[in-house]
Amino acid sequence: MAKIQNKISIKNKKAYFDYEIMDKYVCGIKLLGTEIKSVRESKASIKEAYCFINNSEVFIKNMHIAEYTNGGFTNHEPYRERKLLLNKREILKIEKKLKDNGITLVPLLLFLNDNGLAKLEIGIAKGKKLFDKRESLKQKDVKKDIDRLLKK
């Protein structure tokens, strides 16, 4: 298979603002033909998506992949549940961590690897409190100010 030249990466910036990421995993996604074509056109969003475990399998829900323009009648549903492909050992590790209160599984990054396969980076996260979010904004502003001063 030929190497894919354009790197496609769809980020969930809000996840880093709303959650404190404790651990990250990279997993494959079980997609249909028209879905992977839409992802390659960068017509996907993981902003409102979340992950859950059902019968020792990990799924992502509310991930939007737009219908493929040339799909015809064989097109997919934009918001269907999609299975994530992880090792059994990783799933058991994630399940163990999710039993703690306030811990959730959030999608962080959807990208294509060197072989053109869609991969999803998921993170075990703990929700931030309001004062933590304010602290993040302050740090961001300070970093901007320092960058401006260094530029001059």
Residues pairing with 51 in the sheet: 60
- The DSSP letter of residue 101 is T
What token pair was written down for 61?
Answer: 């829900």
- Per-residue confidence of the chain (152 residues) as pLDDT tens digits? 444 456 778 888 888 888 889 999 999 999 888 888 888 888 888 998 989 999 989 999 999 988 888 777 778 888 889 999 999 999 999 999 988 888 999 999 999 988 888 999 999 999 887 777 788 888 888 888 898 888 87
Q: How far apart are CA 2 and CA 10, in angstroms?
A: 22
| Inter-residue contact 16 to 139 (CB < 8 Å) | no
- The DSSP letter of residue 75 is P
Which homologous superfamily is 9-151 in?
Answer: Small protein B (2.40.280.10)
pLDDT confidence of residue 89: 94
pLDDT confidence of residue 127: 84
Residues 6+ apart with CB under 8 A from 112: 4, 7, 8, 9, 39, 40, 118, 119
Hunting for tokens 């961001």 — which residue is that?
A: 140
